[in-house]
Amino acid sequence: MTMMKKLLTSAVASALMASGAQAAISDNTVKIGYLADMSGTYRDLAGPNGLTALEMAIKDFGGTVNGAKIEVVSADDRNSPDTSSSTVRRWVENDKVDLVAGMVASSVSIAVSKILEENDRLGIISGSAASSITNEHCTPNHIHYVYDTYPLANGTASAVVKEGGKTWYLLTADYAFGHALEADVTRVVEANGGEIVGSVRHPFPTQDFSSFILQAQASGADVVGLANAGADTTNAITTASEFGVTQAGQTLAALLLFLTDVHALGAETAQGIQLTTGWYWDMNDETREWSDRFMKETGVRPTMVHAGIYSSTMQYLNAVAATGSDDAQTVRKQMMDTPINDMFAKNGKIRVDGRMVHDMYLAEVKTPAESKNEWDLYKILRTIPADEAYRPLSESKCKLVN
Amino acid sequence: MTMIFGVPLAVLSGQLLIGIINGAFYALLSLGLAVIFGLLKIINFAHGAMYMLGALVTVVLFDLLGVNYWVALFVAPVLVGAFGMLIEYFLLRRIAGQDHIYSLLLTFGVALIIQGVLTNIYGVSGLRYSMPDLFKGGINLGFMFLPYYRAWVIVVALLVCFGTWFIIEKTKLGSYLRAGTEDSQLMQGFGINVPLLVSLTYGFGVMLAAFAGVLAAPIYSVTPVMGSNILIVVFAVVVIGGMGSIGGAIITGILMGVIEGLTKTFYPPASSAVIFLVMVLVLMIRPTGLFGKEA
């Protein structure tokens, strides 16, 4: 009898598995792991509010997908590739996580995507900047959604060079992201007839920038380019204004600024700074409507990363629903075949290298007189069309591009 | 232009001055640590959090009550110092006389709790605080542009450092303090309230950290995590100077600021490590630190 039972159960189990391999949602659960800096220097641009954005998407989707539960787990990446790697390894090996979302520090994303590739799970990176994530570090298991250093350089650096800032001095955060941004900026500046006359790589994070600002002043360059992010950028901007960098005739170019950074600096200090962004909350009725809902939940206006997390989670769940599967390759292919048209992007497209290409925007921080409230901070100067903004596949070093 | 190792002399002079200014911050912070360790034998890992609280209280007082910088310079350290005394009274006192590791773990835990709670409330992007109008602008020294505020930092930090050293090493109150921690029973026999003295000393050390925090508020991004990185550096400074040596902490603080500044000029990638390199070297050659007394 027991023998019979065993035989029957294993027969049923193998039948289930056979059909499951093609199109089914494993364990009848879609499990999403949200990994981001929850307490450190990159907390505000993604962090706990990014988790809220993710949960908003699940709720708006209906809470289940084709009858399967949607579960969320989350963890603090502590900006450490080591910590993140062990978290994600546990997620995919023990906790059956299907999708890893969030991800901010580029070094974290690069480390995590390798583990996802080994285990054939999917990752959607919304917070990271390094364009190398879909270039030399590309894998068939991740998608880079919101922005990267290539359009940041294309947007801001080319605009500044065209306005006459020919010679540049770069302050670069000394890790994967800073190096990628430095490389992309150098390319754009030189292509537009400018020149990098000097650069300094500062430790991440750095509190006191006075020494580096002094070196930038001594270089005599037209432009001081900040190839860093978060508190490093706000500290550098504050110190630059204290040491009279702009009064002495040098231009300050912040290559990566998030809405939360500009909000922290305030329109008074940040006015006139040009920046490139993938999205802004006050662009049209659709973005405003979503931002109002987000603000009701969190008390703050969303950054482009928050909006990207919402949008990409929605795209992912749609793809799972359409294919009836949570298999990484099946879902990724479906996502590549579906253009993205929502409050985040119009005609966005996920390429074979995992890069989601969409229009980017060159913005300028408003003056205190123009700014109607504390979050009314950008005016959009120019839309950078998707195919002009991102690295063309013809220049790609990604192994998935032939 | 005169060059030294490929760096123009003008740039080098600027870097030296910047180094001294940052060194003044280190001196102020390590001084508080040295006072607390030297007199109370408490390894105060909450020192970075107290520095942060000084800055944060300054900003919050301004936002809520419009308290200006000059008032905050006194009020914020007093408030934070009082908070420190509460920690001493309710927590640290209970582990007095135990191994140093207990005070280290306790204060580290307290610091993490304070930081975590405030991060939840204020986020990490930084709070806005504008420079007092008096200090806007600066003076061109020929080799560099010196913001007035940095000049003020250097003067006031050194004054406070010297004053503290003077009180502890040269006055009657200082001798009570030193004696009270040397042999508390004997001092109590002389009618001196040693527990109160201990509370006040801890409170004073914390005040020094908070004072450095107020000085930092207009020039650095004020966030709940601003103290966590500087804490380790300041500890290294105290170890190099000799645990518990008041004068040693001050001189070493300035020295390390200069060494760090020069490293930022000649080889920036090493600038966050150079102080620890010095610490290792000093510990190998002189385990009691540069100014420590032989055990």
DSSP conformation letters of A250-282: PEEEES---HHHHHHHHHHHHTT-EEEES--TT
Q: Quick: pLDDT tens for A126-182.
A: 999 999 999 999 999 999 999 999 999 999 999 999 989 999 999 999 988 999 999
Same domain, A77 and A218: no
Are A166 and A118 within one domain?
A: no
Q: From the CA of A234, how many Å to the nearest CA of chain B?
A: 7
State the pLDDT at residue B176.
Answer: 86
Residue A374 placed within a domain: yes
B206: in domain: yes
Judged against a pLDDT cut of 60, whether residue A187 lies above it is answered with: yes
Q: What percent of chain B has pLDDT over 90?
A: 67
As a whole number, mean pLDDT of residues A246-258 equals 91
Instruction: Please indicate, yes or no, whether residues A368 and A341 belong to a single structural domain of this protein.
Output: no
Instruction: Domain count for chain A, please give it.
Output: 2
Query: Does the pLDDT of residue A8 top 60, yes or no?
Result: no
Q: Which residues in chain B are contacts of A43 at CB distance < 8 A?
A: 119, 123-124
The answer to whether B125 contacts chain A (CB < 8 Å) is yes
Query: Residue B274 sits in which domain range?
Result: 6-285
| Mean local confidence (pLDDT), B267-291 | 92
CA–CA min distance A41, chain B (Å): 6
- A49 in the same domain as A178: no
Res A384: pLDDT: 94
DSSP A393: G
pLDDT of residue B131: 86
Residues A259 and A375 in one domain: yes
Mean pLDDT of B203-230: 94
The answer to whether residue A9 sits within a structural domain is no
Looking at residue B267, which CATH number applies to its domain?
1.10.3470
What mean pLDDT do residues A19-32 have? 77
Asked if B221 lies within 8 A of A200 by C-beta distance, the reply is no
For residue B11, the model assigns a pLDDT of 79
Nearest to B275 by CA among B90, B78, B29: B29
**Quick one: CA dihedral B157, B161, B167, B168, positive or negative?**
positive
Average pLDDT on A196-219 reads 92
Could you say which of B131, B221, B229 has the minimum Cβ distance to residue A234? B221
Residue B295 maps to a domain: no
More confident residue, A62 or A387: A62
Residue A21 has pLDDT above 50, yes or no: no
Residues A266 and A291 occupy one common structural domain: no
Residue A261 falls inside a structural domain: yes
Chain-chain contact of A43 with B123 (C-beta, under 8 angstroms): yes
**Which residues in chain A have their CB less than 8 angstroms from residue B131's CB?**
242
Q: Could B125 and A203 be called an inter-chain contact, meaning their C-beta atoms sit closer than 8 Å?
A: no
pLDDT, greater one: B244 or A96: A96
Give how far B122 is from chain A: nearest CA, Å.
10
Q: What is the pLDDT of residues A280-336, one digit of tens each?
A: 999 999 999 999 999 999 999 999 999 999 999 999 999 999 999 999 999 999 999
Same domain as A137, residue A74? yes
| pLDDT value for B128 | 85
Please indicate, yes or no, if residue B294 is contained in any of the structural domains. no
Answer yes or no: is A50 within a domain: yes
Query: pTM for this one?
Result: 0.86
- Specify whether A179 is located in the same domain as A265: yes
Which residues of chain A are at the B interface, by a Cβ-Cβ cutoff of 8 Å?
Answer: 39-45, 174, 200-203, 205-208, 210-212, 214-215, 217-218, 230-231, 234-235, 238-239, 242-244, 248, 260-261, 263-266, 268-269
Reported as a pLDDT band with limits 50, 70 and 90, residue B184 is: confident
Residue B291 in domain? no
Instruction: Indicate whether A128 and A163 sit together in one domain.
Output: no
Domain identity same for A242 and A352: no
- The 10s digit of each residue's pLDDT in A43-93 is 999 999 999 999 999 999 999 999 999 999 999 999 999 999 999 999 999
Interchain pair A215, B126: CB under 8 A: no
Count: domains in chain B: 1
Inspect the interface and report whether the beta carbons of A244 and B147 lie closer than 8 Å. Answer: yes
- Within a domain: residue B53? yes
- Residue of B52, B221, B226 for testing the chain A interface, max A β-carbons within 10 Å: B221
* Residues of B whose CB is below 8 A from A169: none
Cβ-Cβ contacts under 8 Å, B3 against chain A = none
A135 and A35 belong to one structural domain: yes
| Chain B residues lying within 8 Å of A243, measured CB to CB | 138, 145, 147
Is the pLDDT score of A13 beyond 70? no
Q: Are the beta carbons of A44 and B125 separated by less than 8 Å?
A: yes
pLDDT at A16 over 70: no
Q: How far is B79 from B54, CA to CA, in rounded Å?
A: 9
How confident is the model at residue A19, as a pLDDT?
45
Q: Is residue A397 part of a domain?
A: no
The answer to whether residue A331 sits within a structural domain is: yes
Mean of the per-residue pLDDT values for chain A?
A: 92
Does residue B292 fall inside a structural domain? no
At A253, which CATH number? Answer: 3.40.50.2300
What average pLDDT does range A392-396 have in this prediction?
A: 95
Q: Residue B229: its pLDDT value, please?
A: 82
Shortest alpha-carbon distance between residue B17 and chain A (Å): 10
For the cut 60, the answer to whether the pLDDT of residue A20 exceeds it is no
Comparing A69-83, A261-275, B43-57, B62-76, the range with the smallest average pLDDT is A261-275
The ipTM assigned to this model is 0.87
Give residue A375's pLDDT band: very low, low, confident or very high (50, 70, 90): very high
Host domain of residue A71: 28-147+284-358
The predicted model gives A233-242 an average pLDDT of: 91
The pLDDT assigned to B39 comes to 86
Q: Does B137 touch chain A (CB under 8 A)?
A: yes
3-state secondary structure chain B: CCEECCEEHHHHHHHHHHHHHHHHHHHHHHHHHHHHHHHHCCCCCCHHHHHHHHHHHHHHHHHHHCCCHHHHHHHHHHHHHHHHHHHHHHCHHHHCCCCHHHHHHHHHHHHHHHHHHHHHHHCCCCECCCCCHHHCCEEECCCCEEEHHHHHHHHHHHHHHHHHHHHHHHCHHHHHHHHHHHCHHHHHHCCCCHHHHHHHHHHHHHHHHHHHHHHHCCCCCECCCHHHHHHHHHHHHHHHHCCCCHHHHHHHHHHHHHHHHHHHHHCHHHCCCHHHHHHHHHHHHCCCCCCCCCC
Q: What is the largest CA-CA distance in chain A?
A: 91
Find chain B residues with C-beta within 8 A of A212's C-beta: 264, 268
What's the confidence (pLDDT) of residue B187?
A: 82
- Looking at per-residue pLDDT, the higher value among A24 and A293 belongs to A293
**Same domain, residue pair A272 and A373:** yes
Q: What average pLDDT does the structure give for chain B?
A: 91
